[in-house]
Amino acid sequence: MILGLIILATAGLFVPLEIAHPLWMLTFLVLTAVTFSLFGFILGIWADGFEQLQLVPLLIITPLIFLGGSFYSVDMLPPFWQTVTLFNPVVYLISGFRWSFYGIADVSVGVSLGMTILFLAICLATVWWIFKTGYRLKT
């Protein structure tokens, strides 16, 4: 969250910065930061070594980000690919942030918020299961 706020402050020095919905921007920032932190914890427990730890960000997270509408609007895609893109969880995070900054979104803000909370709940349930069972925590 600190890094995101530093980037936001730095961007404000170079371009005129207006946030359409600042409270929602902070909400999406906290939800996204907590979700990715929990996901990172899950990956850290799962990975046997540094090589395996780098596998998921390299082969899964990076393509999801690039194909999640961060550099383009999902509306620019053909209808088939728009449908495929809606299965990408990153689309909802980016759409929520885009709406909070500019007031425009590819997916409705309610759906974005709901899906972000769903991903957070999945990560929380997985971490709860890890602690409950002791998966890779016990020797």
pLDDT given for residue 92 in this prediction? 95
pLDDT given for residue 5 in this prediction? 86
Provide the token pair at 123.
């990560």
The answer to whether residue 139 is domain-embedded is no
Burial classification of residue 18, based on how many CB atoms lie within 10 Å of its CB (0-12 exposed, 13-18 middle, 19 or more buried): exposed
The answer to whether residue 103 is domain-embedded is yes
Buried b (16+ CB within 10 A) or exposed e, 59-68: eeeeebbebb
pLDDT given for residue 139 in this prediction? 63
The answer to whether residue 80 is domain-embedded is yes
Which pLDDT band holds residue 33 (cuts at 50, 70, 90)? very high
Q: Confirm if 75 and 82 have CB atoms less than 8 A apart.
A: yes
Residue with tokens 């383009």: 72
Provide the token pair at 75.
């509306």
Half-sphere exposure of residue 116: CA atoms within 13 angstroms, side-chain side = 27
The answer to whether residue 94 is domain-embedded is yes
Residues of the chain with pLDDT > 90, as a percent, come to 68
The answer to whether residue 91 is domain-embedded is yes
Between CA 90 and CA 100 the distance in angstroms is 16
The answer to whether residue 138 is domain-embedded is no
Between CA 48 and CA 71 the distance in angstroms is 34
The answer to whether residue 27 is domain-embedded is yes
> pLDDT per residue over 38-90, tens digit each?
999 999 999 888 888 888 888 988 988 888 888 899 999 899 989 999 999 99
User: What does pTM read for this prediction?
Assistant: 0.87
Its domain, for residue 124, covers 2-133
What is the number of domains present in the chain? 1
